[in-house]
Chain A
């Protein structure tokens, strides 16, 4: 098996990994679990870009997909949950006052 065949096999494996992790991220319902799967998808995309001889694209994908995107998603989920819980608490208190 020469080097070109090995390279094509590695690219095929990386493509399958990207497809599998993207499907898993799309099928997850909880946003926190989805953020973890999105980080794994970023790692698989980094491997794919590296095997396709694009290290600069892989570097930016690494910085954005591994650190920044899950951080933004977790911050958003926390903010939304907190405001929803506060509104539910306020509504429950008003409901108990009325009753």
Chain B
């Protein structure tokens, strides 16, 4: 067992449950922070896997996730922001 696999084990057992706890409670916007942190942790895990197993082709996964993760977070933030802007608009229309 080399140090890379030990680092993967520490990240998977200690960091990922915390990220999942952050995404499992709170409002939808608060869950987004947990999702972003989980994306970062999984990127590190994938890069460590490429080093630990000695297969450099695994590093492509980490690079793809590093591109897709912030894009996914931006998509979520776009739709959640549109919803929270929409909500007071409909309530005022209903009051009027």
Contacts and interface: CB of A to CB of B under 8 A. Distances in A.
Interface in A40-99: 40, 43-44, 46-47, 50-51, 53, 55, 58-59, 62-63, 66-67, 70-71, 74-75, 78, 81, 85, 89, 92
Contact of B20 (A7, A24, A32, A78): A24
Given A67-B71, A74-B79, A78-B83, A1 B20 contact: no
Interface string A1-37: 1110111011001100100110010001010110111
Chain B's interface: helix, strand, loop or mixed, by majority? helix
A30 to B, nearest CB: 7
Contacts of A33: 28, 31
A47 B94 contact: no
B16 to A, nearest CB: 6
A62 B39 contact: no
B15 to A, nearest CB: 11
A92 B91 CA distance: 13
Given A40-B19, A59-B64, A92-B94, A66 B83 contact: no
Interface in B4-55: 5-6, 8-9, 12-13, 16-17, 19-20, 23-24, 28, 31-32, 34-35, 38-39, 42, 45-46, 49, 53, 55
Interface of B: 1-2, 5-6, 8-9, 12-13, 16-17, 19-20, 23-24, 28, 31-32, 34-35, 38-39, 42, 45-46, 49, 53, 55, 57-58, 60-61, 64-65, 68-69, 71-72, 75-76, 79-80, 82-83, 90, 93-94
